[in-house]
């Protein structure tokens, strides 16, 4: 069936599947690497492309998303692309207004305050039809990638989306969202269910559109201790994986590896490793060798260089990468940062990071 270099969905055939092989736990010739926020403001060309438009208008333009997704691949030999989008397109599709305030970040003019505010939300089943622009961006990017590397789709996890919808933006304590968990546990579960019901078809839609892997960002895991996490975050994270996999099978779509990245969720590492994801992403506060002991052989680990290490000299970056690769070991591992790239980082240093991973991981395998 694979005729004229076109794959099963009519997309160009994949030439570099190292990232996917590592995600599935297969052996690789070297360690694959990508960076969270690799399409970002640290690239001058990103700022040029983005200058003309407001943030969410960019997200709604498949052409712009495609261009931004491809920019880092023109500079660096990354092993995966991640679609340019934002986790907050889901609350938007549920009918909430979200704006991006320059220098401040996302802002919800009318956050959820009372239980009855949940009635304002659209039917989660309709969310995927509101997000066709993301699917179009994925399909266009997958075509233009020409099989160079796999394309990752993503979404925010239910608890992390809930925090934004209640806090109305970023928060250092998440006190309003956590107040809901303690004072309105029923309404909290109702909201988390709505978000889960929205996320499942959204993620399945991304795969149908051409995404070859999926990452779920539980960015605000660290604000919950083990008890709240096990009650209000983990069940929904598990549910997303289970239901996405079942829906892909029902739709006759090939399975894709799924990554869970719960920032500062080190207290739940064992649980996350058993939550139905092939890959567990780690932030830089976790010691790789300890993480490997705790999760066992069954999952691939991804991470976890401190993004601020990219402020170091290129020689020092090389040394830090070497140590990181030694600690993680050669297989069942995808190199990444422990969080996204910051806007003031030097692209040359990002290149040094990527090259060091490739060079040293090949050496490791020879010895």
Catalytic residues: 37, 41, 50, 86, 164
DSSP 291-328: HHHHHTTSSEEEEEE-GGGGGS-HHHHHHHHHHHHHHH
Give CA–CA dist 17/148, Å, rounded.
9
Task: List phi, psi (to 5°) of 260.
Answer: -110, 125
Compute the CA torsion angle 51, 34, 281, 157 (nearest 10 deg): 30
With vertex at residue 53, the alpha carbon angle to CA 52 and CA 54, rounded to the nearest 5 degrees, is: 140
Closest to 85 (Cα-Cα) out of 58, 125, 50: 58
Closest to 257 (Cα-Cα) out of 24, 3, 1: 24
Closest to 361 (Cα-Cα) out of 339, 337, 331: 331
Closest to 355 (Cα-Cα) out of 317, 302, 306, 313: 317
Q: What single DSSP character describes residue 5?
A: T
Count Cβ neighbours within 10 Å for each residue of 51-61 and write b for 16 or more, e otherwise. eeeebbebbbb
The structure tokens listed for 299 are 């999952």
């Amino acid at each position: 069936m694979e005729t004229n270099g076109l794959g099963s969905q009519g997309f160009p055939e994949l030439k570099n599947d190292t990232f996917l092989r590592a995600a599935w736990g297969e052996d690789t010739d070297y360690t694959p690497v990508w960076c969270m926020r690799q399409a970002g403001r640290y690239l001058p060309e990103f700022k040029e492309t983005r200058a003309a438009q407001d943030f969410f208008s960019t997200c709604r333009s498949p052409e712009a998303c495609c261009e931004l997704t491809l920019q880092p691949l023109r500079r660096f030999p990354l092993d995966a692309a991640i679609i340019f989008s934002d986790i907050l397109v889901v609350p938007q599709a549920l009918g909430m207004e979200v704006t991006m305030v320059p220098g401040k970040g996302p802002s919800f003019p009318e956050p959820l305050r009372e239980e009855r505010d949940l009635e304002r939300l659209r039917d989660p089943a309709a969310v995927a039809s509101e997000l066709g622009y993301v699917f179009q961006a994925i399909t266009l990017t997958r075509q233009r990638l020409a099989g160079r590397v796999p394309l990752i789709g993503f979404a925010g996890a239910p608890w992390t989306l809930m925090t934004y919808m209640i806090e109305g933006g970023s928060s250092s304590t998440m006190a309003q969202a956590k107040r809901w968990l303690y004072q309105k546990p029923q309404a909290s579960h109702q909201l988390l269910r709505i978000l889960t019901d929205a996320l499942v078809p959204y993620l399945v839609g991304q795969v149908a559109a051409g995404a070859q892997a999926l990452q779920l960002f539980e960015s605000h895991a660290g604000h919950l201790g083990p008890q709240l996490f096990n009650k209000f975050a983990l069940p929904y994270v598990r549910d997303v994986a289970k239901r996405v996999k079942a829906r892909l099978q029902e739709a006759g779509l090939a399975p894709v590896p799924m990554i869970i990245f719960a920032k500062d969720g080190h207290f739940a590492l064992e649980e996350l490793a058993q939550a139905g994801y092939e890959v567990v992403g780690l932030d830089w506060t976790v010691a790789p060798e300890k993480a490997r002991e705790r999760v066992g052989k069954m999952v691939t680990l991804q991470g976890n260089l401190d993004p601020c290490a990219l402020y170091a000299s290129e020689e020092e970056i090389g040394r830090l990468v070497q140590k990181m690769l030694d600690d993680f070991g050669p297989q069942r591992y995808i190199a990444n940062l422990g969080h996204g790239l910051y806007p003031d980082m030097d692209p040359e240093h990002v290149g040094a990071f990527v090259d060091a991973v490739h060079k040293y991981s090949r050496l490791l395998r020879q010895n």
